[in-house]
Amino acid sequence: MSLSRNALIASSAGRPLTARSVLASVLLGTEPPWLPTPRLLRTAALFGISEGSARTALSRMVANGEAVSERGGYRLAGRLVARQHRQAASRRAETRAWDGTWELVTVEGDGARSAADRAALRDALRALRLAEVREGVWTRPDNLDPARSPDARAVAERWCRWWTGARPSPAPDVGALWDLAAWAAGAEALRGEMEALLPGLDAGSPAELAAGFVTSAAVLRHLQHDPLLPPELAPAGWPGEALRADYDRYDAAFRAVLGPYLAGA
């Protein structure tokens, strides 16, 4: 079992982490996504979550189809497996050479869908790193693998028509499609957080694990929103590559402390 830490998630707006989010996070960050129960309970204890609360959360995850109990532990299941794949892909940030063309997606038959279906479709299109030009029309530079995020693609293809190789005139303004300044500022802030935590992690201090867990989650969540623009369209000094490089260094230091901590369970 290799603990990749490539998919931890945290609560938004600084709210305390729930038992479910902590347990899902550590499983999302484990490859393959299985851990023995004592290690899951020890992770929850980092955040003051009692054993009883952690066990209840695990039972609810099983009931919701998010995990299965096996071999004295728990393994991810259902939609969380797809999330793990997406987050791993975000960390790799694989792109193709860009020939100047765009993907264009139009939503068909909007009135026939429920509110839940509309929300799921918007989430799927964002997971595919598309941006909304106007109601029912989404686009992006055609520099990503068409087979990316197959779960999201399957949702989108139920309701959308897809074109590739389009050359719109005038070309879309990427600054209007994505808030690039906000993403870059967030990336720089996260790089600073990792830099501040590294000395303690390098010293092997378990005291840094709780804060390190949340920071790792924040970085991985932020990478999900990198539009992965081709170099021809990205702003000068775009920090995507630097954030990923810093995270690789930080992740190694974090895992070097987390592994022995969990092994003590």
The pLDDT of 96-100, averaged and rounded, is 95
Give the residue with greater pLDDT, 254 vs 15. 254
The pLDDT of 48-72, averaged and rounded, is 96
Residue 187 CA to its chain's centroid (Å)? 14
With b for 16 or more beta-carbon neighbours within 10 A and e for fewer, the 137-159 pattern comes to ebbbbbbbeeebbeebbebbeeb
- Residue 36: both structure tokens together: 């023995």
Q: Would you state the pLDDT for residue 110?
A: 58
The pLDDT of 98-102, averaged and rounded, is 96
- Residue 72: both structure tokens together: 């004295």
SS3 of residue 30 by DSSP = coil
- Residue 53: both structure tokens together: 């609360």
The burial of 31, by beta-carbon neighbours within 10 Å (0-12 exposed, 13-18 middle, 19 or more buried), is given as middle
Banded pLDDT at 197 (limits 50, 70, 90): very high
SS3 of residue 36 by DSSP = strand
Indicate the helix (H) or strand (E) that contains 263: helix 240-263
Is it the case that residue 112 has pLDDT exceeding 80?
no
* Alpha carbon separation from 147 to 77, 95, 144, 154 (Å, rounded): 21, 12, 9, 10
Banded pLDDT at 195 (limits 50, 70, 90): very high
Is it the case that residue 111 has pLDDT exceeding 90?
no
Instruction: Single out the residue of 147, 150, 19 nearest to residue 79, CA to CA.
Output: 150
Is it the case that residue 8 has pLDDT exceeding 80?
no
Q: Would you state the pLDDT for residue 264?
A: 79
Q: What is the pLDDT of residues 128-165, one digit of tens each?
A: 999 999 999 999 999 999 999 999 999 999 999 999 98
Q: Would you state the pLDDT for residue 24?
A: 93
Cross-strand partners of 35:
74
Asked whether the whole model's pTM tops 0.95, one would answer no
* Backbone φ, ψ for residue 199 (5° rounding): -55, -45
Rounded (10°) angle between helices 19-28 and 51-63 = 70
Can you tell me the distance from the alpha carbon of 111 to that of 130, in angstroms, rounded to the nearest whole number?
21
